[in-house]
Structure 1
Amino acid sequence: MVTVRDILRRAVEEGRKKLLEHEAYAVAEAYGLPVPRYGLARDADEAARLSKEIGFPVVLKIVSPDITHKSDVGGVILDIRSEEDAKKAFTKIMDNVKRYAPKARIAGVLVQEMVPSDVEVIVGATRDPIFGPLLMFGLGGIFVEVLKDVSFRLAPVTPIDAEEMIREIRAYKILEGYRGKPPRDIEALKDII
């Protein structure tokens, strides 16, 4: 069984400062955080098999240490509902990446349970050379880069710090519930931070 230490050691040995998505899920699972069902496919047949095991619908995403924004290279296909569609999606993603990021190293394609959500958030960690470990919270997906609406705190954080991080982003009103949308589970977000 691969341990968190193994995952982190491998990333360091490869000179990476970020975990690949399936690695981040494995670390989150090791610490008891819920993650969508997932698997890493290295070919179209494996993508189909994993899709069936996970249960439809699924999403397929390119996994590469060289590609940060998967959507920009056609590396994400949503709402896949059959094994045949999973095979086609795998092939299309690989073709897209060869076209738009031909030098990218490819670890495989993540096959992931499609989680219904209209609001994505991001929680991240980094080590600042002066301040030490920092935690980040904000809207996720494409919004993290476009809006740059994130908050930071020195780690470790208290529950009060976590709540302040959540409340200080400009998009907090969306998390509270806006225009008839239900509020998000702020307590769960605090726990994750």
Structure 2
Amino acid sequence: MKAYGIPLIKTRFAKTAEEAVIAAEEIGYPLVMKVVSPQISHKSDIGGIKFSLQNAAEVKTAYQDMIEGIQKKLPDAYLEGVQLQPMLSGGKEVILGMVHDPTFGPMLMFGLGGIYIEILKDIQFAIVPVDEREAREMITGIKTYPLLAGVRGEKPSDINALVDIIFRVSNLVFDFPEIEEFEINPMMVFEKGKGALAVDLRLILKSDM
């Protein structure tokens, strides 16, 4: 992601509660804690995310509760540790991903994140690779685009930043055909001129490469 210039949220990794506290002090509060495990793709389903941690004591308790809780639910899962990230305020959630179509090959997918993707299924697809025009059309093509453009006095989101990120993700998945699935969810996009940040990433490699 960094090699392709895709902006990432500041992230620290910790293997113990003590390391988590040290990392938290470096990042600052409030922050988010996420479990790291090759067997766990959707972290929220098994209590693998803790939000709004405000101090070292909360970080230590959250680490212990998270690891112990997951070990009870998934005793065979290998838990590498946790990721720590700052809590983001403002902005809107979008989802950006890639799936393989049997006919067309790798296809990019874009839509608003959160409840919009789950309830409205409001997404746009484009065949990889995309150029800047196609990337912009993916954004403006969703039904909920007015929410990004700014409605009822809201400031518009940074569409140009999203266009640039879509273009970069397109290049990434095009250059590496061994990627089977790729998903940034959420990508937080802020108001115009303030950019966007990838917050969480899921990547699956082909098993036959």
Same fold (TM over 0.5): yes
1:39 matched to 2:19 = no
Amino acid corresponding to residue 111 of structure 1 in structure 2:
L
| Counterpart position of 1:91 | 64
What 5-or-longer segments of structure 2 have no aligned partner? Answer: 167-209
SS state at 1:30 partner: coil
1:156 matched to 2:129 = yes
- TM-score normalised by length of structure 1: 0.76
Deviations 1:164-191 (A, max 9, x none): 1112222212111233332111111111
Aligned residue pair count: 166
Between Structure 1 and Structure 2, the one with more helix by share is 1
- TM-score normalised by length of structure 2: 0.71
SS state at 1:156 partner: coil
> In 2, Cα distance between the equivalents of 1:144 and 1:93?
27
| Counterpart position of 2:165 | 192
2:55 aligns with one of 82, 90, 104: 82
Residue 154 of structure 1, CA deviation: 0.7
> In 1, Cα distance between the equivalents of 2:74 and 2:117?
22
1:173 aligns with one of 146, 161, 186: 146
> In 1, Cα distance between the equivalents of 2:126 and 2:107?
6
Q: 1:36·1:115 contact (CA, 8 Å) conserved in 2?
A: no
Residue 105 of structure 1, CA deviation: 3.2
1:125 matched to 2:98 = yes
| Counterpart position of 1:21 | none
> In 1, Cα distance between the equivalents of 2:153 and 2:93?
18
Once structures 1 and 2 are overlaid, which stretch shifts more, 173-182 or 51-60?
173-182
1:30 matched to 2:30 = no
Amino acid corresponding to residue 41 of structure 1 in structure 2:
A
Runs of 4+ in structure 1 displaced over 4 angstroms? none
> In 2, Cα distance between the equivalents of 1:49 and 1:118?
28
Residue 156 of structure 1, CA deviation: 0.9
Between Structure 1 and Structure 2, the one with more strand by share is 2
Residue 139 of structure 1, CA deviation: 1.9
Residue 92 of structure 1, CA deviation: 2.0
Residue 44 of structure 1, CA deviation: 0.9
1:144 matched to 2:117 = yes
> In 2, Cα distance between the equivalents of 1:160 and 1:58?
36
- CA RMSD after TM alignment: 2.0
> In 2, Cα distance between the equivalents of 1:142 and 1:104?
29
Deviations 1:88-108 (A, max 9, x none): 111222233234444433232
> In 2, Cα distance between the equivalents of 1:145 and 1:106?
28
Once structures 1 and 2 are overlaid, which stretch shifts more, 56-65 or 141-150?
141-150
> In 2, Cα distance between the equivalents of 1:92 and 1:138?
34
> In 2, Cα distance between the equivalents of 1:178 and 1:92?
41
